[in-house]
C-alpha cells in the first residue's frame, strides 16, 4: 500500500507539473495507464480499450485505421523525458512508458544526500595513493561534465518550449494572435479535437506503371487506388497542426475516403481539398455561393471552375485557374465557414481548384494579418462569433508554390 501511494503521488506530481500543464488529454491518458498499472499489474492494456474508455471513441474504433492513440502515447513519452530532464531531476520515482507498450512502469532511484556525514571529521585524513587520486580527479571531472550537460539539456528544452509558441503549455508567454484566436474559436473550444479531412482522389492504375483519375463510366470500383494526395494538402495539414498547437489544441487527421457521416454528426470538421477530389464534401451541406463545377464546353472544357452563384458589384461570374494545358501560374480557392449537419458543430472548407490553391487557402487562414483582413470584411463583432460566410481567393503560383494571395470575393451566408 505504501508503494502504491508513492507511485500515485508521483503521477499527481507529473500531471500538475509545468511540463504537462495544459496537456489535458496527455494527463488523462497518464492517469488511466498509471491506475491500470497499479490496480492490475501485469495485465496488458489494449489500444481499443484506451480509445473507448479514455478518449470516448465509438465502439467501431479501428486502431488499424486511426492512429490517434499511438500518437498520443508517443507525445506522452516525449513529455515524460522532458520532465525528468528539467523539473524532475531530483524525483525519487521515475515513471516510464516503454516504446511499443502501454504499460506504465515505476522505478526508484537513489538521490544522494546533501548532508555530509561529519561524525568522523576529527579523524586524521589518510593520504590516498597517487593512482587513486588520479582516478578521483577523473571521476570528479566526469561528474561535473554530466551536470553541465544536464543543465544545458534542461535549458535547451525550456528554450524549445518557449520558441514553439506554447505548443502544449497554456502558460507560455507566446500566444496565438488575437485574429487567429477569434477565427478558430469554434474549433478550439469544441469538446473534442476537430477532424481534418484531406482529399485523396480515386485513381486507377499503380504508380510504377502510371495512374489516371477513376472514371465511373468505364472503371470498376474494385480497381480504385486512393492512397495519394497533393503536396498542397500535405503542407496544409502541417500548417493547421501548427496553428492549433499555438492554442494548446490538437487535431485529428483522416483521409476523405475513410470519412463517414457519423463523423460529420458529432465533430467539428475542416475539409482540405476541392470536391472534385475530396468526394466527402458531396455528402454534407456544402457551399451555396461559390460552387465547384467543370466546364462542359468551350476552350476550357473539362477544367474545374468556381461558379459565383450571386455575383456582387465588381465580381466575376466564375473563376478559372490557368488552363490545364499550360503551366499553372494562377489558381482560385474557396474558404467557407458554416454549421455542420449537427447545428452545434462547425464546418470549414479550404479548397482550391488545384492542390496549390488548397495550400494557399490554408496558409491564408493560418496567417494572422490575412485573417484580420477577412474579419474586417465580415459583419462579425471583434468579440462575437464569426458568422457563416464563403470567400474566394486568387492565388499567384510560382514553380508550384503559392507566393501571393488576394481576397476577391466575400459573401455572408443567410440563415
Per-residue HEC secondary structure of the chain comes to CHHHHHHHHHHHHHHCCCCCCCCHHHHHHHHHHHHHHHHCCCCCCCHHHHHHHCCCCCCCCCCCCCCHHHHHHHHHHHHHHHHHCCCCCCCCEEEECCCCCCCCEEEECCCCCCCCCCCCCCCCCCCCCHHHHHHHHHHHHHHHHHHHHHHHHHHHHHHHHHHCCCCCCCCCCCCCCHHHHHHHHHHHCCCCCCEEEECCCCEEEECCCEEEECCCCCCCHHHEECCCCCHHHHHHHHHHHHHHHCCCCCCEEEEHHHCCHHHHHHCCEEEECCCCCCHHHHHCCCCCCEEEEECCCCCCCCCEEEEECCCCCCCCCEEECCCCCCCCCEEEEEEEEEECCCCCCEEEEEEECCHHHHHHHHHHHCCHHHHHHHHHHCCCCCCCCCCCEEEEEEEEEECCEEEEEEEEEEEECCC
Instruction: Please report the pLDDT score of residue 176 as a whole number.
Output: 67
Counting other chains too, the contacts that 41-50 makes at CB distance below 8 Å and 24 or more residues apart are 44/101, 44/102, 44/103, 45/102, 45/103, 46/102, 47/102, 50/102
The edge-to-edge listing of strands for the beta sheet with 224-225 is 210-213, 203-206, 224-225
- Residue 82 and residue 97: Cα distance in Å, rounded? 13
Instruction: Please report the pLDDT score of residue 125 as a whole number.
Output: 42
Residue 329: all three cell numbers together: 501560374
Residue 264: all three cell numbers together: 460529420
Residue 395 pairs in a beta bridge with: 331, 405
Instruction: Please report the pLDDT score of residue 167 as a whole number.
Output: 41
Instruction: Please report the pLDDT score of residue 232 as a whole number.
Output: 86
Instruction: Please report the pLDDT score of residue 349 as a whole number.
Output: 93
Model pTM score: 0.57
Instruction: Please report the pLDDT score of residue 283 as a whole number.
Output: 52
- Residue 70 and residue 99: Cα distance in Å, rounded? 10
Residue 243: which of 319, 159, 287, 182 has the closest Cα? Answer: 182
- Residue 249 and residue 168: Cα distance in Å, rounded? 8
Asked if residue 390 lies in contact with residue 413, where contact means CB atoms within 8 angstroms, the answer is yes
Asked if residue 306 lies in contact with residue 292, where contact means CB atoms within 8 angstroms, the answer is yes
Q: Residue 231: CB partners within 8 Å, gap ≥ 6?
A: 355, 359, 400
Instruction: Please report the pLDDT score of residue 112 as a whole number.
Output: 53
pLDDT by residue for the chain (415 residues), tens only, comes to 688 888 999 999 999 998 888 788 889 999 999 998 988 888 888 999 999 998 888 888 888 778 888 888 888 998 998 899 888 888 999 999 988 789 999 988 765 554 444 344 344 443 444 444 444 544 444 544 544 444 444 554 454 444 444 444 433 334 568 889 899 999 998 888 899 988 877 788 877 778 887 777 888 877 777 777 788 888 889 999 989 988 888 898 988 777 776 667 778 999 998 776 665 555 556 788 999 988 889 888 888 899 999 999 999 999 999 987 788 899 999 999 998 888 888 999 999 998 999 999 999 999 988 998 999 888 766 667 888 999 999 999 988 788 889 999 999 987 6
Residue 71: all three cell numbers together: 500518437
Amino acid at each position: 500500500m505504501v508503494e502504491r501511494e508513492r507511485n500515485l503521488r508521483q503521477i499527481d506530481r507529473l500531471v500538475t507539473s509545468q511540463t504537462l500543464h495544459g496537456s489535458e488529454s496527455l494527463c488523462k491518458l497518464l492517469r488511466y495507464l498509471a491506475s491500470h498499472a497499479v490496480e492490475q499489474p501485469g495485465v496488458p492494456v489494449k489500444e481499443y480499450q484506451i480509445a473507448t474508455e479514455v478518449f470516448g471513441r465509438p465502439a467501431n474504433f479501428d486502431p488499424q485505421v486511426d492512429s490517434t492513440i499511438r500518437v498520443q502515447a508517443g507525445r506522452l513519452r516525449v513529455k515524460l523525458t522532458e520532465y525528468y530532464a528539467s523539473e524532475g531531476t531530483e524525483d525519487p520515482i521515475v515513471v516510464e512508458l516503454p516504446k511499443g507498450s502501454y504499460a506504465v512502469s515505476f522505478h526508484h532511484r537513489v538521490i544522494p544526500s546533501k548532508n555530509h556525514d561529519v561524525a568522523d571529521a576529527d579523524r586524521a585524513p589518510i593520504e590516498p595513493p597517487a593512482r587513486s587520486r588520479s582516478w578521483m580527479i577523473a571521476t570528479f571531472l566526469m561528474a561535473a561534465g554530466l551536470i553541465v550537460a544536464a543543465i544545458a539539456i534542461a535549458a535547451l528544452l525550456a528554450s524549445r518550449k518557449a520558441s514553439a509558441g506554447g505548443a502544449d503549455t497554456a502558460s507560455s508567454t507566446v500566444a496565438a494572435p488575437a485574429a487567429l484566436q477569434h477565427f478558430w474559436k469554434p474549433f478550439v473550444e469544441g469538446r473534442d479535437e476537430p477532424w481534418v479531412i484531406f482529399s485523396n482522389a480515386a485513381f486507377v492504375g499503380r504508380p510504377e506503371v502510371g495512374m489516371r483519375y477513376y472514371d465511373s463510366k468505364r472503371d470498376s470500383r474494385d480497381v480504385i487506388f486512393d492512397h495519394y494526395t497533393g503536396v498542397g494538402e500535405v503542407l496544409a495539414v502541417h500548417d493547421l497542426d501548427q496553428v492549433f498547437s499555438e492554442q494548446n489544441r490538437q487535431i485529428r487527421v483522416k483521409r476523405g475516403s475513410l470519412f463517414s457521416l457519423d463523423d460529420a454528426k458529432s465533430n467539428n470538421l475542416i475539409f482540405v481539398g476541392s470536391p472534385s477530389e475530396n468526394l466527402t464534401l458531396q455528402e454534407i451541406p456544402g457551399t451555396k455561393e461559390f460552387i465547384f463545377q467543370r466546364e462542359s464546353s468551350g476552350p476550357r472544357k473539362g477544367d474545374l471552375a468556381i461558379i459565383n452563384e450571386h455575383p456582387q458589384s465588381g465580381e466575376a461570374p466564375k473563376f478559372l485557374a490557368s488552363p490545364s494545358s499550360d503551366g499553372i501560374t494562377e489558381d482560385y480557392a474557396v474558404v467557407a465557414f458554416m454549421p455542420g449537419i449537427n447545428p452545434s458543430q462547425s464546418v470549414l472548407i479550404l479548397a482550391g481548384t488545384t492542390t496549390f490553391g488548397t495550400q494557399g487557402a490554408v496558409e491564408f487562414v493560418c496567417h494572422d494579418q490575412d485573417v484580420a483582413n477577412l474579419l474586417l470584411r465580415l459583419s462579425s463583432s471583434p468579440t462575437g462569433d464569426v458568422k457563416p460566410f464563403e470567400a474566394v481567393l486568387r492565388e499567384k503560383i510560382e514553380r508550384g508554390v503559392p507566393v501571393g494571395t488576394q481576397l476577391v470575393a466575400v459573401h455572408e451566408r443567410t440563415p
